[in-house]
Amino acid sequence: MEPELPPLLAALEAEVVACSACPRLVAWREEVAATKRAAYAEEDYWGRPVPGFGDPGARVAVVGLAPAAHGANRTGRMFTGDRSGEWLYRALWRAGFANRPESVGRGDGLVLDGAWITAPVRCAPPANKPTVTERDQCLPFLRRELALLENLAVIVVLGQFAYQVMARELGFRPRPRFGHGVEVEVADGPVLLCSYHVSQQNTFTGTLTEDMLDAVFGRARALADRSGQK
């Protein structure tokens, strides 16, 4: 059973799910949910903003880009129901952050231990490309969410979009160049750890391998464990 959220995180989740601030994203997420993909024609799509998911006591947060149209926009859980999520949850399981190696839908028994998964943009964007205005409109949700994860020691960013968002949030000046495995320490803040995104564009071409992803989450585990010993 998924852990019950503390009141402030639960209230934030309710705000996220009820949001309709970006007309283009609202129209797209609802169009996708109504027309569906043939393989999921019998399913009820979530079709709303997708909240973060995981352990409220997490030491590691994983930050992606936005829900996939027929993935999280269908299932209502971040990185659930698509190939990207298959890669991510297998890696989290191998690193000891998940009780099972797959995530198929809300209520499937998946529980995260020490990890939280979220994104800067909560609605599926057309072509997987939110505008700057949409990103900035949604950003306060991420800011508040991460602040409520009081034990947070590591933020794993999946891809350059997430890196740029978090580098700005954490005030990097100058901002180190993004690259897989790049690690940036922040005074009195979480360590930022970079990974290529688990998109099919990266995993199908070998730009990102399972060994590369395991190395990132192994490092995240080590950093999290080290912070817990202080």
46 confidence band (pLDDT: 50, 70, 90): very high
Q: What confidence tier does 166 reach under pLDDT thresholds 50, 70, 90?
A: very high
Give the chain's end-to-end CA distance (angstroms, integer). Answer: 30
pLDDT band at 186 (very low <50, low <70, confident <90, very high): confident
Q: Establish if 216 belongs to a structural domain.
A: yes
| Predicted pLDDT of residue 142 | 98
Query: Tens digit of pLDDT for each residue in 54-104?
Result: 999 999 999 999 999 999 999 999 999 999 999 999 999 999 999 999 999
Structure tokens at 86: 């298959």
- Among 53, 61, 65, 60, smallest CA distance to 108 is for 53
* Confidence (pLDDT) at 229: 61
Has residue 51 got a pLDDT over 60?
yes
| Structural domain includes residue 205 | yes
Average pLDDT over residues 37-51: 97
Q: How far is CA 18 from the centre of its chain?
A: 19
User: Which candidate, 119, 124, 127, places its Cα nearest to that of 25?
Assistant: 124
3-state secondary structure of 116: strand
- The per-residue pLDDT for 204 is 97
- In which band, very low, low, confident or very high, does the pLDDT at 158 lie, cut at 50, 70 and 90? very high
Domain count, the chain: 1
Whole-number pLDDT of residue 91: 98
How many residues does this entry show for the chain? 230
Instruction: Assess contact for 115 and 2: CB atoms under 8 A.
Output: no
The answer to the question of residue 28 being in a domain is yes
Please, are residues 173 and 167 in contact by the beta-carbon 8 Å criterion?
A: no
In a domain, 168, yes or no: yes
**Going along the chain, which residue ranges are E strands?**
53-54, 60-63, 115-118, 154-158, 183-184, 191-195
- Please work out, in degrees rounded to the nearest 5, the angle formed at the alpha carbon of residue 151 by the alpha carbons of 103 and 139: 70
Q: What is the pLDDT of residue 226?
A: 86
Domain region containing 64: 8-228
CATH number reported for the structural domain that contains residue 128 in this entry: 3.40.470.10
Residue 124 lies in a domain: yes
Please, which residues have CB within 8 angstroms of residue 4's CB and are 6 or more apart in sequence?
10
- Assess if residue 3 is contained within a domain: no
How far CA 65 is from CA of 38, 41, 62, 161, in Å, comes to 25, 26, 10, 6
Q: CA–CA distance from 103 to each of 36, 89, 129, 153, 221 (Å)?
A: 20, 7, 24, 24, 20
* SS3 state at 99: coil
- Has residue 1 been placed in a domain? no
Has residue 74 been placed in a domain?
Answer: yes
Residue 13 has pLDDT above 90, yes or no: yes
- pLDDT tops 60 at residue 173: yes
* pLDDT value at residue 174: 84
The amino acid at residue 125 is: P
Q: Kindly state the greatest CA–CA separation across the chain.
A: 52
What is the predicted pLDDT for the residue at 188?
82
| Secondary structure of residue 118 in the 3-state scheme | strand
* DSSP-based three-state secondary structure for 24: helix
Q: Does 230 score more than 60 pLDDT?
A: no
- Average the pLDDT over 172-199 and give the result: 93
Q: Which residues pair with 158 in a beta bridge?
A: 195
pTM: 0.96
